Every structure is written in structure tokens, then in C-alpha cells.
Structure 1
Amino acid sequence: MQTRHRVVVLALDGIYPFELGIPVRIFGSATGLDGEPLYEVITCGLDGGQVRTSADFAVAVEHGVEVIETADTLVIPPFDADPYEDRDWLPESLAGAFGRLRPGTRLVSLCTASYILAAAGLLDGRRATTHWNEADHFQRMFPKVQVDPDVLFVDGGDVLTAAGVAAGIDLCMHIVRRDHGSEIANRVARRCVVPPWREGGQAQFIERPVPEPSAATTSETRAWALEQLHRPLTLSELAGHARMSVRTFSRRFRDEVGMTPGQWLTQQRIEHARRLLETTDLPVDRVAAEAGFGTAASMRQHLAATIGVSPSAYRLTFRTGDQAPVI
């Protein structure tokens, strides 16, 4: 029997209850086609016992820091103790906890727990994110980190960071999909009643003046564009469909989605290509055409930049069904 991937969640004093529950809910809902759990989720504290939360209650944590030695993935949710103090070093207790990590352990921070990874020097020279409200402060404290305040999460391979609060759900869903493919991730999403993935980034959640009720949005054009992914789409064509000038459409699109129309289109083409590779026997050239990349070479380039593998390798890993894929 294959050993389950062990996810250890580190509950620090002042833990936020919502984010503490995200890993166990998402990873705990992931099962294989035989119904067997794919992850084992264990929560630990620095010393075991009771952990204070940011609310008016505490949680009883049965495991101490020693279980970190057994983690395949370590998840650190945010807490309200002192992550914003001007301190770029780890307290002795946390440094000791990180010293227990096995080589190759995947590290995940949710929201402002990214301060912990940065203070440990684990984000130096890397792209990372945190809650948009703390991004400027985070960048000043850790100038060696390439902070991206607009995205919902950053996948750095062995170190992953999520943006504010519910973006932890997006990152955990992404990890399930990266580990086991879209079919299982979609099943988890249905069980947890969350989207398998969300468009855009944090920019769409930053406070802005509320538009007039009659103001046009780009939502209908986005829905229309999803049905046109098989062909080239220009910015002028998108703006024309929305009955806006290119300038107005571009500005409103970024406000609503958190990225440019071109970035969004590329993201949708990649997602469509991944679904086709996972669920159909279409040759790679045909997948590239259906997803609007034009050529297989173009699709290979985009997939390599996004997920680090070729279309054929991705299909061999995540192909669903009993038929052998055509590659």
C-alpha cells in the first residue's frame, strides 16, 4: 500500500482559525478513484497542547514540533502574534522547528505566514506573495524577495506562498491539482463547494470606489472569449465586443480580474490545453489548435514556462481513463 503524503500544519500562538482549517479541509477531502485518502493531515504546535487563536477560544493540538520531521509538506497558516514587527530573524523556537525539516520537504505559507519563510531566508532570490495590505512592508523588510502583490499564490516548486486569507484555498487546490490532476482537484472543489481555480489575483480585492450600477463590466466578454479560445483574439476585438474603447476596456479588465487581457487569455488557453491533455486522446498538435496556441511548439513553450513539463509528459502524468494517450 502506497504511503500517504503527509501534510503537517504548524499552529503557532495567535493562529487564525479560518486559515488553520483550510489545509485539513482541502487535503482531507482529496481521495483517489478507489476512495482512499491521498493525504494524511496532522496539526502540530511548537510544544503540543493548547494553542491560542486570534478569536475568543483556544485549540487543543495533540502533536508537538517533532512531527515536522515526518512532513512531506509543511503548511504554516498566519497568526496575530508579531509577524509585522521589524524583525528579519526567527525566534529560537521557530528556528528549531525549521531545523527539523527533512531535505526536500515542500513548504507552504498562507497569507502573512510568508514572513516566517522570509525570516528563515527561504524566500531570498525567489518570487513570493503575501496579503496585499502588507506587501510594501514585506518588501521593505525582505528586499531579497521578489514580492508580487497582485497574484493569489506563487508556486516556486518546493516553496509556495499564498496571498491573503481565502487565497489559501486557491493554493491548496492548486497543490492538489499539481499532485493529482484536474479530475481529483475538481472533485475536491465540488465537495468543499469552492471553485477549482479563480481568475485573476489580489488586485481585484483592493478597495476601490464602487462603480455605478449601470456601469458596463467585462464579464460578458470574458464568457464570450472562453468560447473563442480556438482562434486568435485581439485586444481591439475584445474591447469591441464589450462596446468600450481599448483604453477603457483594458483599465476595467485589470480592475475586475487583476491582470491584463493578454495575461488572462494566455492563462485560459493553458487551462484549456491542460484539460484536453488530461481528458482526451487528441494529438498534441490538435490540442494546441483547440486551445488557440496555433502550433505545438508555442504550446510547449507556454506549458514549460507555467508548469515546467512538456505536453506529453503532462499527459502521461495526469491522463484520466483507460485508453492509452496519443502523444
Structure 2
Amino acid sequence: MENVKAKKSINITSYALLIFTIVISIVFTILQPAFIGVGNVMNIVSSTVVLCIASLGLSLVMITGEIDFACGSELAAGACILAVLAKAGVNYFVALIAGLAFCAIVGCINGILHTRIGIPGFIATMGVSFILDGLNKMITGSSRVFSSSWGKIFVAIGQKRIGGVVPVSVIILVVVAVVILIYTEGMTSGRKLYAVGSNSESCKYVGIDARKEKMKAFIISAVLCGLAGMINASQLNAASPYLGETTLVNLLTMLMLGATFYRVGVFNVPGTIVGALLVNIINNGMVLIGAKTWQQYLVQGLVMLVAVTLVTLLKLKAKKPA
């Protein structure tokens, strides 16, 4: 009987964030019925895509116990390289591959600086972020890159909706999420990341190359951040070297919230998506009810604290003997 009660507590704990997200949605619907409209729901989902894809990439690095401070600059780099090349008349696919390849190289540099040279990950990626910021501003002239004749595909990935309802960008997010979910939870190679994050020193005794796993995480993170930047450029119909200025804080918020869902205490794909949705639901709802900017920040901060506090209390309750 005690085991049954413990299991129920654990289940409630694991899904408390989702319950909290639903409750917040209901509150906003009561305050502003337009919140639940199909158009607004699709707007919320669409606005979640960019940071959610980037956070899925960053989660791999954080699973290994490291952090990529260059994620915002990588996001901006993907957008700027694609926009600059596309505006210059370069074939869209060539421009896209070039942007992703550049981001992959950046991720590789991050990995080499940390795993081969021995520079702490946060310092290495912070240094790289400054260099990237400079390069982004150099190729864009420190200004917004805009064109009145972007290619159809450039516009499609961020603005087109299938059947006039479902954004193409959401389909891209679903594909990325499924791939990362299978990689981290269904493949031995992906599960090694958790082993590295748990105890990288012990990995060598079981045949896991911690440096190799971290290298892969940094590269995938940079590529997904670059892809997120490209989608963002399409949504805005332009690119700017300043796109990723607040990216890191937003991604960390989503990841920390996500770690309270599904697999409590562990960065995971379902949790990251729910965390990203919660953040965007709050932002969207506050705008719809006409809240002022300072009120939006205040409520968002309070909601985050309440959500995490709730999950923490549930975890403590689950651990207490009956």
C-alpha cells in the first residue's frame, strides 16, 4: 500500500509542470477568451519553435555537465549567414548548408577548446561568443539584413502554414524533437551523454570517451542553434546580429523548468518542450490582457518560482516515509 502511494506521488511530481501549464492557460482563457482561439494557439506554438529548437541543442551540452555560452551568438550567426548569402543571390540550399556548416565548425571549436586544450567550457564558449558577435556584425554591417525578394523557401520555413493553420516551423520542431528524443533515450550513443554528465572520470573505465561525447554535444548544440536562427530570420523576414542577445537566459529558464517534468531532475525533451510552452503562454497571455512590461516580467518571474517550488515540495513529500 505504501509503495502505491509513493508511486502516485512520484507521478504527480513528474507531471506537475504540465498541470501548472494547463492551469495557467485556463486562467488566461477566463481573463481573455481570445487566448484559446485557434489563431492565437498557433501563434503561441509558432513563437515557441525558435527557442525550443535551440534549447534542445543546448540540453545536450548541459546533460554532459557543461554549458554553451555561445548559443545566442550561434543562433544569430545562422540567421545572418543565411540572410547575407541569400540576399547576395546564392542558392537558398547552398546558403542554408553553409550556415549550418559554419555553426558546426563553431561547435567543433568549442569542443576542441574544452576537451583538447582543457579550457573550462563556460570560459571557452564565452570567448567564442564574443568573436562570433564581432563576425556577425562585420558581415551585416551591424544592421538588419532585409530584402524585398527573399526566396519562397526562405519565407516558408518561418511563415508558411500547412492548410493555413499549422506552421511549417512547428513541423520542423516536431522532427527535431523526435530525433533528439530517440537519440538521448533510445540510442546507446545518446545515453552516454548522461553517463558523462553523471561522472566523466568514471566513464573511461567502462569504455566511454567523455571528450568525444562532449564534442558531439557542442557540435549538435551549435547546429540546432543555427537552425533556430534561420527559422527566426524567416519569421521576422530579416536577420540581425542582435537576435541572440537574450537567448541564453531564455534557454536556461526553459531547461530548468523542463528538468522538473517527466524525468524530474534530468534535462529531457518532453520537459524542455513543456517548459518552452509555459514561458510563451505567460508572455502571450500577459500581452493579451494588456499587461505592462514590468508586470509581464514580474508575473513571469513569480510563475517560474511557484512552478519550481511546487515541484520541489512534491519531491520532498514523495521522499518522506509514509
TM-score interval, smaller chain: under 0.3
Provide TM-score, normalisation by structure 1: 0.24
Pick 1 or 2: higher relative contact order, CA cutoff 8 A, min separation 6. Answer: 2
Higher strand share: 1
TM-score by length of 2: 0.25
